[in-house]
Structures are given as structure tokens and as C-alpha cells.
Amino acid sequence: MMQTIQLFVPTFRVEECLAEIRECLEKGWTGLGFKTVQFEEAWKAYTGLTHAHFVNSATAGLHLAVRLLKEQNGWQAGDEIISTPLTFVSTNHAILYEHLKPVFADVDEYLCLDPASVLARLTPQTRAVMFVGLGGNTGRYEEIVSLCRERGLKLILDASHMAGTRVHGQHVGSEADVTVFSFQAVKNLPTADSGMVCFAEAALDAEVRKWTWMGINKDTYSRTTGGGAYKWYYDVEHVGFKDHSNSVMAALALVSLKYLDPDNAYRRQVAAWYDALLASEPRIERIPVAPGCESARHLYQVMVDRRDEVMLALNEQQIYPGVHYRDNTVYKMYAYAQGTCPRSQRASDRLISLPMHLRLTHADVQRVCQALKDIVARVSIK
């Protein structure tokens, strides 16, 4: 019986995770505060980012990013944010939650936003750019940073795939107005569901903490641990959400963070094996990593013709890759932009994410590559 090779298999250091969770249970504190505070501090120390607020998902973080920038800058319904069509829909839904308009620019050879295409999509209504570091790659992010600064546009970095990505030795994020990470179940820093929203400005970091807790201006943990009289009084400043995360997620995150750099180094090793083994097959198009980028390698993507046939044939050999992503303009709700991003459209029909996780051995990667090369050769002569 052939062993199954899955796209993603998260690795949890079970005993360490249980010890961290046990601490929450014994203390009687599983909610917001305690471990969430520890994890926010640990994340800031790791990334060098000035602010970090632990939320229940990157989706929530992206929504809050758009909302707070909109409020701060007086954006109006219908104002535009330039974004990529090659992403998980959360990125673009976050713009629509706030009644702003996602305007799609095309991607480049790194499958990230192409600055030339962004320039071509600017209008007097453009307020911000939403950049996604697909698979952990930084693409032409630095050019996008300059473009936004020169034009007074806000920059939101969807770093869902970028936990641990560095560019020229520095963690990404400090250049953006807000950076959002995902710690969802299969991400590089896996929890079950959670994320981090990191604003550059202290005032927005203070503000977002109220938004994630119903608009209440003092969280329960501060009220419990802080001194002062009348700590049972608080004010509710606006209709907020229940978007914060909790100590059980933070317990998992604190353990995963200890291993993030060595884990990402192993992912880069797996990627190097794929690169070496696939280099001889020109029908398998590999995606370059941008110069100066130390990618977190959330994904290892290739492009092939007749992708769906290739995927099904791989499945027959117990190999289960994925697709990240279909061009969002193929979906009904984003169809208004169909045909505007030819490079994304081409990628959408050809992309395959090959298995990428810490349990893969060199022999597994060899098996995937051999199967892929055989299948691609076979379907090309059909």
C-alpha cells in the first residue's frame, strides 16, 4: 500500500503544547489576557514590530485593518483599494466588509502584485494597496512600499503566509501601515485559528483592542489584574466585535514560535529539493523567490498545462497537492473585474501547490517529483 502524501500536515510539539495549555487550565484563565499578552510580547520581540494584537483570525485582522484606516482617514464607501486577484478571498472580502471597492491589479513572475499594474490602476479614489506575500515570497514588495509612500497611499500587508519571512535580513511588516499574520491550523505557525494584527501607529493599536472586545474600553484581564478603584466600570465607545483570541490559542502559538525559524529552514530545504529535482523538466514552471527574500516557504508552487488532469493523476498515486489560488475574478462576486489580470488568469488555470510540510523526507519529495514529471510528460503527448 502506497503511503499518502498530503499537501499540509502541521507539526505540534504535543508535550510542550499540553504543558502550556495545562498552565492556563490550572490558573483558571483560558480567555483574553495572560497567555495572549505573553504571545503578543513574544511576537513583537521576534519580528521587531512595534505593536501586535492577537486576534481570532487573519480574516478578522484584515477587516480591522481596513476599518481602522478607513475611520482614521475619512475614506468613503466606494473608495478603492488596489489588491491582488490571486489570494484567498479573505483578503478581498476584508475590503468589501467596509463597503470599499477592491480594484484588481495583475501579478508578476513572483505571483505578487506587479507595481507597474498597480500604477496603471490608480485613480483619484485610490486610498490604499493591499499586498499579499504569496507563499511567503516578498515579490516586488519594496517597490510597492515606495510607490505607496510617494503617493500618500496606505499599505496593508496580508502576511498570512509570511510568518518568519525576512527581506534583506529584516522581518517584513515595519514598512506597512498595518501587517496581518495568520496562525490558522495549517500555517507556518499553526494554532487552530488565530492571527496577529500589527499597526505601525500606537493610537491604532490602542483602538483595535477596543474594536476586538465589543467597543469596551477596558478588557477583563486588565480590570482583573490592574489596581484602581471602580474597576468594574467601563465605557462602551462604539459597536465593536468579538474578534480577540484567547490563552489556549496563545499557548499553542508560544510553542510554535520557538520552532518557527528552524521549521522554516526545513521548508526551504524541501523547496531546494523540489527545485533541484524539477529543474530538468521545462514543462514544469517553477516560481522564483524574489532577490533578498528569505521566504517562510508556506507554499511550493509550480505551473503546468492541463493542471486538473495532472492533479487527478497525482491523486491516483496517493499524492494530494492543492491550488493557491484561483483568480478571485472567476468568482461571481468579483466577476466585475474578469479579464483585467491576464497573468493571474493564466496562473489560476495552471498553479499546483506541491506538498509542503515538516514531515516530508527527501524520498517523499523524490516520489512527488518523479510522479509529476511522468504525468506531465504523459499528458503533453495525449
Ligand X SMILES: Cc1ncc(COP(=O)(O)O)c(C=O)c1O
Chain residues binding ligand X by CB under 6 A are 57-59, 87-88, 90-91, 132, 158, 160-161, 182, 184, 195
Residue closer to ligand X by CB (options 87, 216) is: 87
Say if strands 178-182 and 101-104 run parallel, antiparallel, or are unpaired: unpaired
Which of 134, 144, 169 minimizes the C-alpha distance to 288?
134
Q: How far apart are CA 157 and CA 176, in angstroms?
A: 6
Q: How far apart are CA 165 and CA 296, in angstroms?
A: 5
Residue closer to ligand X by CB (options 55, 314) is: 55
Residues 6+ apart with CB under 8 A from 102: 80, 81, 83, 92, 95, 96, 130, 334, 337
CB of 62 to ligand X, least distance (A): 6
Sequence length of the chain is 382
Q: How far apart are CA 189 and CA 12, in angstroms?
A: 10
CB of 345 to ligand X, least distance (A): 18
CB of 61 to ligand X, least distance (A): 8
Residue with cell string 489556549: 248
Which of 58, 44, 68 minimizes the C-alpha distance to 204?
68
CB of 186 to ligand X, least distance (A): 8
Residue closer to ligand X by CB (options 196, 278) is: 196
The secondary element (H helix, E strand) that includes residue 178 is strand 178-182
Instruction: Give the number of other CB atoms < 10 A from CB of residue 22.
Output: 11
CB of 8 to ligand X, least distance (A): 11
Backbone angles phi, psi at 322, to 5 degrees: -135, -175
101: its cell numbers: 471597492
Residue closer to ligand X by CB (options 137, 345) is: 137
CB of 351 to ligand X, least distance (A): 14
Residue closer to ligand X by CB (options 57, 138) is: 57
153: its cell numbers: 497611499
CB of 253 to ligand X, least distance (A): 12
303: its cell numbers: 505551473
Q: What type of residue is 298? A: H
Residue closer to ligand X by CB (options 273, 325) is: 325
Q: How far apart are CA 248 and CA 35, in angstroms?
A: 8
The string of DSSP codes covering 56-96 is S-HHHHHHHHHHHHHHHHT--TT-EEEE-SSS-THHHHHHH
CB of 87 to ligand X, least distance (A): 5
Residue closer to ligand X by CB (options 83, 126) is: 83
Could you give the 3-state DSSP secondary structure of residue 191?
coil
Q: What is the CA radius of gyration of the chain?
A: 21
CB of 347 to ligand X, least distance (A): 14
Residue closer to ligand X by CB (options 297, 367) is: 297
Residue closer to ligand X by CB (options 58, 248) is: 58
